[in-house]
Structure 1
Amino acid sequence: MKITHIVQGTWIGIVTGIFLALFLKVIQSFTEEKVYTLLLNVDYIPIVKEYQFPEVIEVFFHLIVSVVLCIILVILYNKSNGFIRNHAILFPFLVNVAIGLVLYPTTSFSDRTPTVTNTTSLFWWIAGHAAYGLFIGVLISRKSKSMR
């Protein structure tokens, strides 16, 4: 693992993580679907769920996850010669849609988030993660091309 991969993944994770948080916050403010609340929710994590954190700390937790994910995606892209490199934008898109689908059911562990059967919230949740994944892919492919 090169330090450039960590640096690149970190800045991509911060920029795209802020984008996703703002996107879902705007959607929640206009639609009242609690997708931003779901993004910041930690009610399904033992011990952590016992604490009430300020919004800025919850966003920080989200950005840590985003940075780790983006570092992994940057490393996979830079070490790949096949599918991932040839589909630099599609791969993060698919990964993030899958992550969105896997994480959405965690909404059932909280009274603050949408019900698991709320299809409008599910739509916005997946739309946000899809846009997030596309944004990651664009930044990875552009940054990696400029580093060659």
Structure 2
Amino acid sequence: MKLNTNLYVRIILDGIIAGVGLTLFFKVIQSITGYQVYTLLLNIDYIPHLNEFTFPEVVEVAFHLLVSIVLSIFLFLFIQRLQPKSTGSVIGICVSICFIIGALYFPTTLLSNRTPAISSIPSLVYWLIGHVLYGCILGKLLQKRLYKH
């Protein structure tokens, strides 16, 4: 299936919507509990050269949303190639991949003094719940794209 411009724009918007959902979830969790999951989401301390700058929060959120856009495009193309038989499979695939990404990303907390300790079980649990939520949101949005075209 050829990726047309309108579909591409919708997939980008899906990534932004899911990314904003994750951002807001972590911001609320951090403000209520004090666990630094929002800080971890926006953390770029481990990226050479970028870690030399202090960016405003809105720019850090924009970095996160760029990653979310790339992930939404990748997941759309990946799931499209798999050709799942049911719409529920789309959400399941997105949740599984996003959970794995969250689990693999959490150890970057070792590379910063501003993020949760690697041993913080509550932070890890909130982090993984957030990524499952993100996978559900993105999966539901992509499901519409995959079964509409």
Q: TM-score range by the shorter chain?
A: over 0.9
Long gaps (5+) in structure 1: none
CA shift at 1:120, angstroms?
0.5
In structure 1, the residue matched to 2:90 is 88
Work out the CA distance in 2 between the residues paired with 1:128 and 1:86.
19
CA shift at 1:108, angstroms?
0.6
Identity rate, percent: 40
The match for 1:144 among 124, 143, 146 is 146
Cα pair 1:90 1:137 within 8 Å, conserved? yes
In structure 2, the residue matched to 1:14 is 16
The match for 1:75 among 65, 74, 77 is 77
**Superposed, which structure 2 residues align to 1:34-53 within 5 Å?**
34-53=36-55
Q: Matched residue pairs, number?
A: 147
- Provide the aligned C-alpha RMSD in A: 1.7
Deviations 1:29-57 (A, max 9, x none): 00000000000000010111111000000
**Superposed, which structure 2 residues align to 1:58-69 within 5 Å?**
58-69=60-71
4+ runs deviating over 3 angstroms: 82-86
Long gaps (5+) in structure 2: none
The match for 1:29 among 24, 31, 50 is 31
CA shift at 1:5, angstroms?
4.5
SS in structure 2 of the partner of residue 53 of structure 1: coil
Amino acid at match of 1:104: F
